[in-house]
Amino acid sequence: MSEPRYDVIAIGNAIVDVVASCSDELIEELGMTRGGMTLIDADQARDLYDAMGPAREISGGSAANTLAGLSALGAQCAFVGQVADDQLGQVFAHDIRAVGIDFDIAAREGEPPTARCLIFVTPDGQRTMNTFLGASQFLPADALDEEAVGGAQILYLEGYLWDPEEPRAAMRRAIESAKAAGRKVAFTLSDAFVIDRYGDDFRALIADGLIDILFANEVELAAITGEADFEAGLATLEGKVPVLVVTRSEKGAVSIAHGERAAVSAEPVEHVVDTTGAGDLFAAGFLFGYVRSKPLETCLRMGSIAAAEVISHYGARPEADLAKLMQEKLG
């Protein structure tokens, strides 16, 4: 097998986050699901934007956030996603390239516009997300560079993007390319609502041995396994995926890899500002440790350190020097 060109190549939604602080009362007034992620249409996006207070625009998207963390740690990465030929599309493309990630997918002409996620952050740091998927739903399979996929140590897939037909076809094709090249496939379940809709697809991928590394949180673990008990959920998936990683918010994280189990506590955070991107950056830290052949517990620690950094400020991408932070925390 040839040396990989990339540590990680990811396929995901190309989204610009629009983030604003708000009161708990506004969440209720607007009828939003507190702490959840809801898909919205163009009209709803306009209405919610009008209801927002002063906002900041920060490039986001789950898999893209993970790559931003990986790149900050020194990994070589590439991103596959679709933007429109508009202002937010230019913002996204600039931001992802500026952090050293290869992004070569041509912008899409015409409607719909680039995806955006309207994020309302309550005083406790909880984020309520409302996502208009826009152009990101129209990533065609023929945009995929199969040589690049085969040249990455890990293909990382975002469950959120399984919903639209075109990107789903692109991801299936990418899995085939990665497996044909002897590479590993990592998959993040993203959200329980995605599992409600496509859980059978995900379970089939697991049963067919197509997922090497699976990321979930406690809620997603229960949704994919049908087990309300945490340990029962772990037992259901143990052995079905070579590497299982489950985050538990303030309770830390657990991983079972090739029969070995490790767990870590959550990294202490002085003040939680915005939990957006916590899972994305956890995956970044873990995957960086994994591609550098670190012990399982160290991979989990790296995930926890990266997640703690991102929830200490607004936005889903790191602001501190992650590599330096890892050195300070891990020695």
CATH number at residue 100: 3.40.1190.20
Could you give the percent of the chain with pLDDT greater than 90? 81
* Cα distance between residue 155 and residue 106, in whole Å: 20
As a whole number of angstroms, the distance between CA 184 and CA 178 comes to: 7
Q: Which two tokens stand for residue 258?
A: 């090739």
Question: Is 174 part of a structural domain of the chain?
Answer: yes
Q: Pick the closest to residue 208 from 230, 188, 179, 235 (CA basis).
A: 179
The Cα–Cα gap between 178 and 5 comes to 13
Phi, psi of 110 (to 5 degrees): 75, -165
pLDDT recorded at residue 301: 97
Give domain status of residue 49, yes or no: no
Residue 31 lies in a domain: no
Question: Per residue in 222-232, pLDDT tens?
Answer: 999 999 999 99
Mean pLDDT for 106-115 is 94
Amino acid (1-letter code) at residue 323:
A
Domain range for 215: 6-14+61-112+135-330
Is the pLDDT at 138 greater than 90, yes or no? Answer: yes
35 is a domain residue: no
Reported as half-sphere exposure (CB side, CA atoms, 13 A), residue 164 has a value of 20
Task: Look at residue 215 and tell me if it is in a domain.
Answer: yes
Assess contact for 263 and 254: CB atoms under 8 A.
Answer: yes
Confidence of residue 198 (pLDDT cuts 50, 70, 90): very high
Q: How far apart are CA 152 and CA 211, in angstroms?
A: 15
Using one digit for the tens of pLDDT, what is the confidence trace for 250-269? 899 999 999 999 999 999 98
CB 115 within 8 A of CB 15: yes
pLDDT at 206: 98
CA distances from 216 to 72, 135, 151, 197, 284 (A): 23, 26, 26, 16, 14
The secondary structure element, H or E, covering residue 166 is helix 165-180
> What percent of the chain has pLDDT above 70?
100
3-state DSSP helix/strand/coil % of the chain, to nearest 5:
45, 25, 35
On average, the pLDDT of the chain sits at 94
Q: What is the mean pLDDT of residues 72-92?
A: 96
Structural domain count, the chain: 1
Q: Would 48 be classed as within a structural domain?
A: no
Question: Looking at the DSSP assignment, which residues form a beta bridge with residue 187?
Answer: 157, 214
Question: What is the reported pLDDT for 1?
Answer: 62
Collapsed DSSP state (helix, strand, coil) of residue 17: strand
Average pLDDT (118-123) is: 92
At 49-65, the pLDDT tens digits run 999 999 988 898 999 99
Least confident of 86-90, 105-109, 157-161, 327-331: 327-331
In this model, does residue 170 exceed pLDDT 80?
yes
Report helix angle 192-207 to 218-225, nearest 10. Answer: 60
Residue 131: other Cβ atoms inside 10 A: 22
Q: Is residue 83 assigned to a domain?
A: yes
DSSP string for 66-98: HHHHHHHHT--EEEE---BSSHHHHHHHHHHHH
Q: Is residue 237 a part of any domain in this protein?
A: yes
